[in-house]
Structure 1
Amino acid sequence: MSRIYFVFALTLFAILTIVNSNGAQAQEPAAGDDPVEALELYVMPQSGPFRPDQISVPQQDMITAWARSAHADATAEAFTHWDGEGEVPVACARCHSGAGFRSFHGLDGSAPGVDGPVPVGGVVDCDTCHNPGLGEIAAIMLPSGIEHPVKPGVEAACMTCHIGREAGASVTKAVADKADDAPDDSLNFVNPHYALAGATRLGSVGAGGYQYPGKTYSGRFFHARPLDDCVSCHNPHTLDVSEAICLTCHENGSPDAIRISSISFDGSGNVSKGIRTDIDANAALLLRTIQDYAVKVAGTPIVFEPSYPYFFVDADQDGRGDRIDGAPQKYNAWTPRMLKAAYNWKFINADPGAFAHNPHYTLELLYDSVEDLAGPLNLDMAELGIAR
């Protein structure tokens, strides 16, 4: 018998010796009686309905799926970046902390808006997407300054955090009326941020990309109704795409293999591959064109590295940012034309699912960015073979 059960038994025995069933004083056990044996009847069972691992939780599968997802990964950079400071800044808290999200929308009883830094340690928790107040959110303000309506419920949560932090309007403001091809050390890269699925999907309606004047752009990609919101394709807990949904209309359930057009956008002529390969090829072409422009027009070679501030000086063109005392040197010879193209390249590459979220808008931004750089480089778009 375990010690805790023994103590419980002795305690119960002591109570029972005070008052018997008729309220009279109970008798002490006779000399030589074994109190343990006498109280065996009152010992709690070693196992039974009181064990938590035997209690049925209806949502257990959903909780398990969420716990294994990126939204719950408390070790991820998205949630540990500010551990050294001990708090998540106001500007970041709405998406990098469940508490910050609720404060931003006033779901915690406060006025909408994050009042101050939020303690570290939070993730995108259950109450981020299951808070009853989500149903009251009718619209989300986009970085472009456009207010966009959302369906009541979880779409408000998705769209709050997957729209980026900058938009094409930010680039327009940065370049103002500066000369297109004049390097200006007052210009800095405008970073759209990460995981921009919502912004990509809205296309020209959200104006997340830099949209060249005089051009027309595809709007919100509705895919195929009733697939009209994020959770139509993504499992809300695992975040995975359901290939069974794809097979409703497509011959292949793998998103990478799906093609939406018989046009070869990358000029390869191969239309048997997924549209993603066309987008990847044109994005690679755009980056090469930006680097060519940096050398021939801006006069300072450039390289991209996947860490802030992303674009660095590469004077020796070895494919690695130049270092001074071990520190990489951020790019400082931006021209307005180059900044627009680099923003669009990053905007597209910051959404790994752009090929599915809005392939039309993505291809348009890529083509127009290459075309704009082609002028001062004397490139013939027809020879490049890409399509819009």
Structure 2
Amino acid sequence: MFYFRLALPIMSLIFIAIPAAQAQDQSPVTSIVESWIASPHGDRTSEAFVHWNEDGAVPQDCATCHSGPGLMDFLGADGSLAGKVDAPAPTGSPIDCVACHNKSAAELEQITFPSGVVMTEASPSAICMVCHQGRASSDSVNAAIAGADDDSINGELGFINVHYAASAATMFGGAVRGGYQYDGKTYAERFAHVPDFNTCTTCHDPHTTKVVAIDQCSTCHQGAETVRDIRITPADIDGDGDTKEGIRAEIESLHEKLGEAVMVYAKEVSGKAIVYDAHAYPYFFNDLNENGAADPDEAKFPNRYQSWTPRLLRAAYNYQFLAKEHGAYAHNPRYAIQLAYDSLEDLSSKAAVDMAGMTRP
């Protein structure tokens, strides 16, 4: 049997059982459902949807993006007030068909980002942006460090995590301040691509989330064998002398150098060695043996890094922003480069950070 959960015009739900043989005759629907089940949005076994199983419910602060019913609650598609979640959501409920295919989602055009900036998106991408925007911004960091000396350890500071895959914040760039934006600098705003590939759902299959085939990109980006090989500038961004590598490689190199600079600054200025682990909260820890690696006994919450200065926190925030935004090279490469470059430049004012040959677009 195949079971399909459908949204009816009156917004009630019904489960329809279709015999397997009959389902074969409905290949378009079957294909879509199978694509969704295999996607991150439909993987009910993933950490994104099982994290709260022991608690018995997904808390209101997390329910919008970690539960189908929670997303409908936020949209007001369940009859509630839109813009907030009214109650914890059930566990084991991924982002299903009806969570995105409903009247409220179709009419959504105004997206409020963590900075408080409201952007208009009159396309099916609006529903994607509800969740893929992060949970922090320049404003969050500035509020935490207000009035503090840039290079003095502040015991009240803790790491500020943007959360995961803040793709919409990257795409809108400087307009929504998703990354940490330094005073006196200008930042690229929305990345304007060609009209046919300028929204989430024109570059990603909306059900699998996979990127469109490269042959649709190679008409303009000739010579690129993969999306990651595409290059948008002749400038040597990372200063390594290679002006042929894809822009993704340039960003990755700059990001790696930023990670190294964070460690140099922490040791030279804060006086406490720091190390990063992408899979352990809160990501930055004391490097007890100073070997530059997050050892199992170090990547634990009690050993979290607590020797933050405002300058170090700003750079670490941007490091994490780029670490969790794997598609920044496509969503807004100039913005990604600017965040990394400016973080390096800021750290270099107080620590031995080599930026020879680097270029800021």
Give your verdict on TM over 0.5. Answer: yes
Measure how far apart 1:224 and its partner are.
Answer: 1.8
> Which of 109, 114, 130 matches 2:85?
114
Correspondence 1:190 to 2:160: yes
Equivalent residue runs for 1:59-74 within 5 Å: 59-74=29-44
Partner-residue secondary structure (3-state), 1:172: helix
Q: Which amino acid aligns with 1:356?
A: A
Q: Distance in 2 between matches of 1:51 and 1:301?
A: 61
After superposition, residues 352-363 of structure 1 pair within 5 angstroms as: 352-363=326-337
Aligned twin of 2:119: 148
Q: Is the 8 A contact 1:184 1:333 kept in 2?
A: yes
Query: How far is the alpha carbon of 1:293 from its aligned partner?
Result: 0.4
Alpha-carbon displacement from aligned partner over 1:4-47 (angstroms, at most 9, x marks no partner): xxxxxxxxxxxxxxxxxxxxxxxxxxxxxxxxxxxxxxxxxxxx
Quote the residue 1:257 is aligned against: 229
Confirm or deny: 8 A CA contact 1:313 1:321 kept in the other structure. Answer: no
Deviations 1:213-248 (A, max 9, x none): 000111010122232210111011111111232123
Corresponding residue to 2:290 among 317, 322, 327: 317
What CA distance in whole angstroms lies between the structure 2 residues aligned with 1:54 and 1:297? 68
Distance 1:190 1:316 in 2: 25
Counterpart-to-counterpart distance in 1, 2:207 and 2:225? 20
1:35 match: none
Partner amino acid, structure 2, of 1:349: A
SS in 2 for 1:250: coil
Q: How does 1:89-168 map to 2 (within 5 A)?
A: 89-112=59-82, 113-152=84-123, 154-168=124-138
Aligned-residue offset at 1:95: 0.4
The amino acid of 1:308's aligned partner reads Y
Normalising to structure 2: TM-score of the pair?
Answer: 0.89
Is the Cα–Cα contact under 8 Å of residues 293 and 377 in structure 1 kept in the other structure? Answer: yes
| Corresponding position of 1:344 | 318
- Separation in 1, partners of 2:301, 2:86: 35
RMSD after superposition: 1.8
- 1:186-335 equivalences in 2 (<5 Å): 186-242=156-212, 243-251=214-222, 252-306=224-278, 307-318=280-291, 319-320=293-294, 323=297, 328-335=302-309
1: distance between equivalents of 2:56 and 2:47? 14
Contact in 2 for aligned 1:98/1:123 (Cα 8 Å): yes
- Residue in 1 that maps onto 2:10: none
Q: Which runs of 4+ in 1 moved over 4 A?
A: 321-324
- Which residue does the alignment assign to 1:173? 143
Structure 1 pair 327–209 and aligned structure 2 pair: CA distance change class (3 A): closer
Contact 1:246/1:253 (CA < 8 Å) preserved in 2? Answer: no
Quickly say closer, same or farther: Cα 1:321–1:338, change in 2 above 3 A: farther
Mapped partners of 1:83, 1:321: distance in 2: 28
Counting matched residue pairs gives: 336
Q: CA deviation at 1:133?
A: 2.0
> Following TM superposition, by how much is the alpha carbon of 1:270 offset from its aligned partner in structure 2, in angstroms?
1.1
Rg larger for: 1
Note if contact 2:153-2:308 (Cα within 8 Å) is conserved in structure 1.
yes
Q: Distance in 1 between matches of 2:269 and 2:249?
A: 29
